[in-house]
Structure 1
Amino acid sequence: MLTWINENAKWVIAIFAVGIALGLLAMDRTPEQSHQYPIGRVDGVEIPYAEFNNRVNRITETNYRGQNLSDEQRAQLRNNIFQSFVQQELLKAQFDENALYASVAEMKAELKNNPDVVRRLVGEEAQQRVYAIQANSASEQEAAQNVQTFIQTLPKFLLDTAFDKAAFDAWLETPAAYEWLNMQNYEQELKTMTIPLHQLQIFVTANAHPTSLESQWNVNNRLVSQDVEVAFTSANDFQVDPASVDSLKVNAYFDAHQDSFFVTKDQVRLAYAYLPIQPTAKDEEEIRKYAMTVYYQVKDSNSTSSFEEMAKVASEDVGTAANGGLLGDYTARGTWVKEFEDVAFALDSGAISEPVRTKFGYHIIQSLGKMKDSTGTEKVKAAHILFSVTASPETIDSLEKILAGIKSAVEESDSSFIDAAAARKVPVRETAWLGRDDEIQEVGFVGGLSAFAFVNKERPDLAEGKVSGALKNNDFVIVVNRIETLEAGKRNIGPYYEQIKRNLLLQESKDAAAHYLNSVAEKVKAVELVTDSATGSAKADTSVEKVTIEKATASFDGFVPGIGYSNPTLFRILSQQKVGEWGEPVVTNDGAAMVKILNRSVPDTTAAKTALTEDLANTWRFGYAMLFNEYVQNLEKAANVESNLDLYYRE
């Protein structure tokens, strides 16, 4: 019916070719013989590629069916699944080391205590068997008979409206319960992961017993409150000359604190030449012509395609295409961009506009009616077909050709990367230190960056050379040159140099703020805060230059302006300072502050007892989960994890 689209759709042939290329990338069989390598290793234990790929496909089919995931989303999904395999292998090692195995009694208890899970699993498999019966039957009548016969064999608890727990428990005692493939898989999951994991949680948290003394401490910190006056000044008002922190100071700080700058993962610093992907005038004209073609089609009274049908197949507005381009209900002015709005309100009901250019692209607009509401406001109901103005494959190819010239000049003519880029008037930037999954901040996610930046240890022969091939996302095409690499396990100032310098500059600013606050301390102490008659609270005072003075109610776990939320500085002030006196200026996270405690109050006995009971209960409820999560995170930090994701997935 819409065969004409094959002749007129924008970039249709190019998009089809790109689709094939992306499909091949998605198959991820990059290097020959790559199937013999695991997808990764955890402390020397291999993670088979086949198992990883099966899980990726299963999760994609289950959770993202029908969705067009971007390269970035696919990469993130694979990273998350790889992480789940890492955790799985680490936990299995702990199960074996501690001889944690599921007993028959534990298996039966889990099955009996989770009837909803069992019903869902068996129900899903039963539905799949029904589909298979229907597909393999010679006629509808035969299919109906076969399905009915199959239903008679299903367990009673699966068919009854009201769940019969006794019938369910009895079914679990029969061999028939374990003939279901989903039940076998669930049993295996319980046996190899769920039950041993629960046992490990018990072992790890066995010595973690919350005491009333600890809870009493927490309650006192939370409920004991002080009314205070606080005077604070910001480090931002005391900026120091960046030259005051030179490389000698930075290196000296690093040398004195080397253990704080351990490199936990492989890192690389890159130079990249980049060209923005922007549509040319020719691209714009081609898209306008395509929009006009669609316009003539929907305006043609002899066409078999309605506006709604055309919107579903041609519109690039993913939010409205499925609904035939409908833009909600009747809409007043001020909702749409002006160019669109002017045309939509000018159309007669049922009329269709020629393509209208806005910042979003070209729109073909159909008016579906006008009305005035009770206030006399004119409203329009409209639908549209959107054609985004994007760079054509031809335009992108021309950009890639320019960048390919840089690669050739560096690798074949021994030119420097910067000189080769300059000769082609292509700008070059350098990145900060990047880890394997990090993005170039100014560019965003670019498929293939990690595969080039980090040479795979299994297949170093796959390294592309000094300069990458053209890499791209929706906004840029780039080529990349490695400047410096750094292996995990080293102590190196490189990744931390700028961070150390910023921290030292900030510390100098905070020290200057504290020195200034000390110099005006007597002026601060002389200020009397004025009460706002409307609110009954004290107004903030800024009569002392660069200083703000406020009243606040503070607790050890609370927030105080200029000092922050629940930090050691706040604790020292509130626990050590006398009531009724101003304390000395202290350096804070944001600058400097000085505090006067006006009064201190303690909770009544009933409130304290209630809070104590709640704190103990919360520690039991949440403390163990947090402790076990920390345990697993520490296992991951200590593990030797090797990833071959970039060997199989190089897009």
Structure 2
Amino acid sequence: MFEGMRRNAKIVIYIVAFVFIAMMALGGITSIFNPKPYVGKIAGTKIHYSEYSQYLKNAYAARVQQNPEEEIDDKVAKEINDQTWNQLVDEILINKEIKRYRIKATDEDIIKRLQDPYDDIKAIPDFQTDSLFDYQKYNEVLLQNENFAAWYEMRIRTALPRELLFEEIKSEVQVSETEVEEDYFMKNNKADAKIIFFDPKKIKEFEVTDEEVEQYYEDNKEEFKLPPACKYKFVKMVIQPSDADNNLKKAKIDSLYKKVTSGEDFAAVAQEFSEGPSAPKGGDLGYFTRGRMVGEFEDVAFATNVGGISEPVLTQFGWHIITVIDKRKTESGEDEIRAAHILLKVEASDETKENIEIKAADLYEKAMEKGLEKAAEDFVYQVEETREFAEDANYIGGIGREESLIKFAFKNKIGKVAEVIKLQNGDFILAEISSKIGEHFQEFEEAKNKIKRDLENGKKLSIVTLKAEEFVEKFESKNYLSEASKEGWEIVEGEGITTDKFIPKIRKVEELNKAILEMKEKEFTELIKDENGVYLAYVEKREKPDMEKFEVEKEELMAEAQTTAENEHLNEWYKELKENAEIEDNRSAFF
């Protein structure tokens, strides 16, 4: 019986997954846009549509099994798509490295792993006694259950080459005792200090003229050199409810209004039909004063009598029916009400979304024939233009994070129309390269505000530096703290200061921390300056490292340091591997 249920569940999941992928493909309007014949290329390996669709079906089915109640909206769909793509990139790149390093898992390697099972295997209750892994139970199942043994061996054979590769990469780094000792010393060499902060923000009397700003721009032109850049003209087709969608919800809210005004229990109707988060509580929103809700909702709610039921009211969240449960005054005399509501959200239907997708396809065809601006005129769409973006940008102003569009812009000529992009929120973007420029200088008008801020900050820092120097000349060190308070300079207290610790309000100033740790108790440092201000520190307490304790803990510390260094090295290795790989991602044209 249970096996049959499991089989049927799997069939349902895969049917749903198939429909889901088919709809995603429709979202890409593949046949209309006639995209490249493959979804992507990873380090020379082409990923074809049928292959990637199967990966997505499997990923979607797994997601449904893990979260059967989850609604798969556009955001979740994109998340599944991105996770699947990233896993595929990882798999292909790692497998190529396994071949390059000529790594093979021997029978001896597999036996070792069988004898030392993975943590998730050890966590299986059937392999435990008193919540602890029982090797004897595990071994009995391994010997008696051929299916489990075959499955686990296959899992090991698949995973082990990757593990061996990672071990090979990790072996490239070796932590020395000297490094660990220095790290221990640095972390345990501490001080408490009071720091006089000569803050440039306190300087109010200064002036930066327009002439100074212009002169700085001319004298430092190289500072404003920008790399080659592109711009797009684009049309955004927003997924929003149609009149038909709104009319459908209006008819539904009217029918619910008849129910609750004909004597049906408001809370029961809200629990059954409301689409708001308060539905399980019968729509109860609790008490609220004016200013807590959107205007349309608030006006109707406060105008409704206790026990009364409002006619349907439309807000940005949808259609509401409101009933007022209680009215009272707050301690400050404000009106406060307790209300409940029934909410029906007005959202774009599947039919509306499909119509917008078809319009996007039609616009794309016209844009290919006559250009985006003329095509947009025919369809009465507004054309916008992005800001300049460089090849290493990860964001296009006005559009968002669309890596494929950035790559497209730098590989094609002005006037070239990119395939329609479906954004994470479901909207569509059709873009045409409108401008390309080589290395150039940022225009003065664009740069002047930043130049002025920088010059202002520079002047304030110069003035505060002079004041700090005058301060140490004027007073004896024993009076620094009291005189600083009198003059209005902030005294920041830092506890447990180490070489790399951030000090509250001051952040991390490496030179300041170092100077504090070089001083003895009851001594002042010299003036320390950085771009954020000038500092004068009084060392109240010093705590030197216990090197005898280090000797006792040395082996454990070295093991921890080695593990940390290995993991950091592995992460850097993989990051570099991915950055250097040629990856072509055409998914947006398909899904």
Q: Give me the TM-score of the superposition, normalised by structure 1.
A: 0.63
Q: How does 1:260-409 map to 2 (within 5 A)?
A: 269-272=231-234, 288-297=250-259, 299=261, 311=270, 314-317=273-276, 319-321=277-279, 323=280, 325-327=282-284, 331-334=286-289, 337=293, 338=298, 342=302, 346-347=306-307, 354-357=311-314, 360-365=317-322, 384-388=341-345
Deviation per residue, 1:607-626 (Å, 9 max, x gap)? 86389647435313433222
Does the C-alpha gap of structure 1 residues 382 and 254 become closer, same or farther in structure 2, counting only changes over 3 Å?
Answer: closer
Partners in 1 of 2:354 and 2:41 — Cα distance?
Answer: 38
Find the counterpart in structure 2 of residue 557 from structure 1.
Answer: 500
Q: How does 1:576-587 map to 2 (within 5 A)?
A: 580-581=523-524, 583-584=526-527, 586-587=529-530
AA partner of residue 639 (structure 1): A
Note the C-alpha offset of 1:46.
3.3
Partners in 2 of 1:394 and 1:54 — Cα distance?
Answer: 26
Find the counterpart in structure 2 of residue 215 from structure 1.
Answer: 180
Contact kept? 2:177, 2:558, Cα under 8 Å: yes
Q: How does 1:186-585 map to 2 (within 5 A)?
A: 186-193=152-159, 195-222=160-187, 223-225=189-191, 227-234=193-200, 243=214, 246=217, 249-251=220-222, 269-272=231-234, 288-297=250-259, 299=261, 311=270, 314-317=273-276, 319-321=277-279, 323=280, 325-327=282-284, 331-334=286-289, 337=293, 338=298, 342=302, 346-347=306-307, 354-357=311-314, 360-365=317-322, 384-388=341-345, 426=382, 428-433=384-389, 440=396, 455=408, 466=417, 480-484=431-435, 508=455, 510-525=457-472, 526=474, 541=485, 543=487, 548-553=490-495, 554-560=497-503, 563-565=506-508, 568-570=510-512, 573-574=515-516, 580-581=523-524, 583-584=526-527
Contact kept? 2:320, 2:342, Cα under 8 Å: yes
Partners in 1 of 2:491 and 2:122 — Cα distance?
Answer: 64
Does the C-alpha gap of structure 1 residues 275 and 167 become closer, same or farther in structure 2, counting only changes over 3 Å?
Answer: closer
SS in 1 for 2:487: coil
Contact kept? 2:326, 2:339, Cα under 8 Å: no
Find the counterpart in structure 1 of residue 63 from structure 2.
Answer: 63
AA partner of residue 502 (structure 2): F
Note the C-alpha offset of 1:219.
2.8
SS in 1 for 2:431: strand
AA partner of residue 609 (structure 1): F
Does the C-alpha gap of structure 1 residues 73 and 495 become closer, same or farther in structure 2, counting only changes over 3 Å?
Answer: farther
Does the C-alpha gap of structure 1 residues 91 and 292 become closer, same or farther in structure 2, counting only changes over 3 Å?
Answer: same
Matched, 1:84 2:55: no
Contact kept? 1:273, 1:478, Cα under 8 Å: yes
Q: How does 1:10-49 map to 2 (within 5 A)?
A: 23=23, 25=25, 30-31=30-31, 37-49=37-49
Deviation per residue, 1:430-465 (Å, 9 max, x gap)? 2342779955555667xxx6666654999x9xx995
Partners in 2 of 1:502 and 1:576 — Cα distance?
Answer: 41
Contact kept? 1:556, 1:574, Cα under 8 Å: no
Does the C-alpha gap of structure 1 residues 28 and 402 become closer, same or farther in structure 2, counting only changes over 3 Å?
Answer: closer
SS in 1 for 2:220: helix
Find the counterpart in structure 2 of residue 100 from structure 1.
Answer: 103
AA partner of residue 543 (structure 1): E
Does the C-alpha gap of structure 1 residues 324 and 513 become closer, same or farther in structure 2, counting only changes over 3 Å?
Answer: closer
Does the C-alpha gap of structure 1 residues 464 and 54 become closer, same or farther in structure 2, counting only changes over 3 Å?
Answer: farther
Contact kept? 1:279, 1:391, Cα under 8 Å: yes
Deviation per residue, 1:391-428 (Å, 9 max, x gap)? 899999999999999989977777968x988x979473
Note the C-alpha offset of 1:79.
2.4
Partners in 2 of 1:86 and 1:70 — Cα distance?
Answer: 24
Matched, 1:594 2:553: no
Partners in 1 of 2:202 and 2:239 — Cα distance?
Answer: 38
Q: 1:605 aligns with which of 507, 526, 546?
A: 546
Contact kept? 2:122, 2:133, Cα under 8 Å: no
Q: Which moved more, 1:307-316 or 1:638-647?
A: 307-316
SS in 1 for 2:103: coil
Query: Quick one: percent identity of the two aligned structures?
Result: 16
Structure 1: tracts of 5 or more residues without a match: 1-18, 124-155, 256-260, 532-536
SS in 1 for 2:389: coil
Matched, 1:166 2:132: no
SS in 1 for 2:199: strand
Deviation per residue, 1:246-281 (Å, 9 max, x gap)? 3773535759xxxxx8x9xxx853234568888899
Q: Which moved more, 1:495-504 or 1:246-255?
A: 495-504
Contact kept? 1:230, 1:561, Cα under 8 Å: no
Contact kept? 2:306, 2:326, Cα under 8 Å: no
Contact kept? 2:198, 2:468, Cα under 8 Å: no
Structure 2: tracts of 5 or more residues without a match: 1-18
Q: How many residues align?
A: 548
Q: 1:642 aligns with which of 574, 580, 584?
A: 584
Note the C-alpha offset of 1:86.
1.7
Deviation per residue, 1:500-522 (Å, 9 max, x gap)? 99987776555434322222124
Find the counterpart in structure 2 of residue 135 from structure 1.
Answer: none
Deviation per residue, 1:361-416 (Å, 9 max, x gap)? 3323468x8899xx9xx999976421235689999999999999998997777796
Does the C-alpha gap of structure 1 residues 428 and 22 become closer, same or farther in structure 2, counting only changes over 3 Å?
Answer: farther
Note the C-alpha offset of 1:343.
7.6
Partners in 1 of 2:162 and 2:503 — Cα distance?
Answer: 42
Contact kept? 1:250, 1:497, Cα under 8 Å: no
User: CA RMSD of the aligned region, Å?
Assistant: 5.9
SS in 2 for 1:593: strand
Deviation per residue, 1:177-228 (Å, 9 max, x gap)? 2x46xx65654442233x2232223222225333332233223323332524
Does the C-alpha gap of structure 1 residues 280 and 436 become closer, same or farther in structure 2, counting only changes over 3 Å?
Answer: farther
Note the C-alpha offset of 1:633.
1.2
Contact kept? 2:301, 2:322, Cα under 8 Å: no
SS in 1 for 2:173: coil
Does the C-alpha gap of structure 1 residues 528 and 161 become closer, same or farther in structure 2, counting only changes over 3 Å?
Answer: closer
Partners in 1 of 2:549 and 2:123 — Cα distance?
Answer: 46
Deviation per residue, 1:601-651 (Å, 9 max, x gap)? 2326378638964743531343322221122112112222222323422xx
Note the C-alpha offset of 1:169.
1.1
Contact kept? 2:234, 2:431, Cα under 8 Å: yes
Does the C-alpha gap of structure 1 residues 48 and 246 become closer, same or farther in structure 2, counting only changes over 3 Å?
Answer: same
Partners in 2 of 1:615 and 1:76 — Cα distance?
Answer: 39
Does the C-alpha gap of structure 1 residues 409 and 48 become closer, same or farther in structure 2, counting only changes over 3 Å?
Answer: closer
Contact kept? 2:421, 2:430, Cα under 8 Å: yes
Q: 1:620 aligns with which of 556, 559, 562?
A: 562
AA partner of residue 182 (structure 2): W
SS in 2 for 1:550: strand
Contact kept? 1:538, 1:550, Cα under 8 Å: no
Does the C-alpha gap of structure 1 residues 275 and 157 become closer, same or farther in structure 2, counting only changes over 3 Å?
Answer: closer
SS in 1 for 2:70: coil
AA partner of residue 625 (structure 1): N
Contact kept? 2:194, 2:491, Cα under 8 Å: no
Contact kept? 2:418, 2:431, Cα under 8 Å: yes
SS in 1 for 2:433: strand
Contact kept? 1:371, 1:379, Cα under 8 Å: yes
Partners in 2 of 1:621 and 1:230 — Cα distance?
Answer: 40
AA partner of residue 317 (structure 2): F
Note the C-alpha offset of 1:30.
0.9
Partners in 2 of 1:370 and 1:67 — Cα distance?
Answer: 35
Note the C-alpha offset of 1:573.
4.0
